[in-house]
Amino acid sequence: MFDFNLMTFIAGLPGLLLALVLHEYAHARVAVAMGDFTPKLTGRLTLNPLSHIDPIGFIMLMVAHFGWAKPVMVNPRNFKDMKQGNILVALAGPAANFLVAFIALAAIMVMYKMGIRMTLGVKTVFSMIVLYNINFGIFNLIPLPPLDGSKILLEFLPGDLAYRYMGIERYSFIILIVMMMTPILGSILIPLSSLILTAFETILNIFI
């Protein structure tokens, strides 16, 4: 999912942690807001990284270039509106990633416009926050079970088709490996990341 070397990893660690933690926290926060207190009862309504990071998923992120955090457990039956709840909870994670990327990019542009010189290290850290969060948000919107995009799509599929669609999940890990080993994932992330980054820059240039 990302191109790693030691220096890139060190500079990108803040962005990586923000992407993982805020993504899962957003799921938990919106689930509670929609009426399900399962995330709070299971200790996921927190910004503590230890509550969200899956050790194996984190290692995979470093070694295999893609990984995962601990999924936030929710009980949709507790939502005031099950369909709306499922969609909003699924959207919350990627939305949090895009918001973090937007804020980090705004910080870079404000400092530049004010003539504040950032060291190469600081600029790299902020740039990696932007990159990781945009990519993480896009990645999770891919409609492959159990990613967030599949949970959104599932709410619009008829029952029988939804059941068959969820059956894809047993092959998801293999599909992700194939996507990683071929240009498929890059062909998704690179153009969409550039499009979102351009949109953010256009918006910020209007106000900054």
Q: What are the catalytic residues?
A: 24
Judge contact between 18 and 133, C-beta under 8 A: yes
| Radius of gyration for the chain, computed over Cα atoms and rounded to the nearest angstrom | 18
Cα angle: 14, vertex 17, 31; to 5 degrees: 140
Task: Indicate the residue type of 23.
Answer: H
| 119 Cβ neighbours under 8 A, 6+ residues apart | none
One-letter amino acid of 206: I
Q: Are 45 and 28 in contact (CB under 8 A)?
A: yes
Local structure of residue 170 (DSSP, 8 states): G
CA distance readout (Å), 36 to 75, 88, 147, 178, 199: 6, 13, 20, 36, 34
